Every structure is written in structure tokens, then in C-alpha cells.
Amino acid sequence: MKRSAVYPGSFDPITYGHIDLVKRALKIFDDLTIAVLVNPKKKPLFSLEERMEIIKEVFKDEERVHVDAFEGLLIDYLKKKKMNIVIRGLRAVSDFELEFQMALINRKLSPEFETFFMVPGLNYTFLNSSVIKEIYSFGGRAPDLVPPIVEKYLIERFKK
């Protein structure tokens, strides 16, 4: 039986922390769908199309990684895709509280829903997309935290 999972998020932009999680999840699951969230409450730096294009480029050599988009409830997306396992990253205790609450609510709404929590590699416990955007917005660089294609997009977006 094929073991598939979904890794949802905004990925605005994807970082080496996200990539670390994907690579380690692929050691457990046969394939992984990176599901890019369309959240009308958020104003992303990159369009949905740009985020998906970047992720596809990053994983172009990994046939077990699929990229998709969704809006609305995650459990509705999972039902539509006939999947029931979600990967979520936990960097700190503060992440755990929110992620734990979401996992329980999702399970309440759909009992077959399972959340698989993963802790990032030590090098990425502090990393999130907001930090990356802030660094680049002030003209800084962090090439060891994002893939070259992400850095290219960030430099272009924050040209003054």
C-alpha cells in the first residue's frame, strides 16, 4: 500500500527548513504533495503561481514530490485528494500549541485525519519565511537559508 502525505503551507517563500522537512518525510512516505495555501486573510509577497513555480524548480529532480494549491479547509482538500496524512513542522513550543490545536480540530471534523509532526534539523529551528523576507527587505542576504532560485526572486522583489 502506497503511503502518501500532504505538506500544507504558504511557502512564501520556501526555505531550506521546509526542504529539510520534505527530504526527511520522503524517508517515511512514498510520495509527498506540497499543498500551497491560498489564504485570503494573508497578503503574500509572492503570487500563488510564483510560489508553485519556485517549489517545482526546487524539487524538479524528485519525482515523488508533487506541487498543488488549495484554499478553504485542509480536510476538504484531503478528502478531495483521498489522502489523510498531513506533515507539519514544529520549530518551538510556540509552534506546538497552534499545531496541536489545529490537529485536534481537524480530527474532530474528520476522524480519519492524522497529523504527523516533524522537528526540523538543528540548523533550521529558528528559520521561517517571515525572517527571510525581513532580511531581504533590508538589503541583506541569506544564501545558506534559501535555495538560489528563492534568493533570485527575493532580490528581484526587493530591488529599490
pLDDT tens for residues 61-86?
999 999 999 999 999 999 999 999 99
> Which one from 23, 81, 91, 157 is the annotated catalytic residue?
91
Closest CA to 91 of 33, 130, 52, 54: 130
- pLDDT given for residue 50 in this prediction: 97
pTM of the model: 0.94
Q: Using CA atoms, how far apart are residues 11 and 8, in angstroms rounded to an integer?
A: 9
Tell me the pLDDT tens digit for each residue of 3-32.
Answer: 999 999 999 999 999 999 999 999 999 999
Q: Which of 51, 88, 129, 133 is catalytic?
A: 129
* Domains of the chain listed by start with CATH number: 4-125 (3.40.50.620)
Q: Which residue has the cell 500563488?
A: 48
Per DSSP, 39 falls in state -
18 is catalytic: yes
Is residue 129 part of the annotated active site? The answer reads: yes
For residue 94, pLDDT beyond 80: no
Q: Nine-digit cell at 137?
A: 527587505
Catalytic residue among 42, 60, 108, 152: 42
CB 38 within 8 A of CB 52: no
- What is the three-class DSSP state of 117? strand
80 a catalytic residue: no
Is 66 assigned a catalytic role? no
Contact assessment for residue 132 and residue 19, using Cβ atoms and an 8 Å cutoff: no
Q: Cβ neighbours of residue 61 under 8 Å, at least 6 residues apart?
A: none
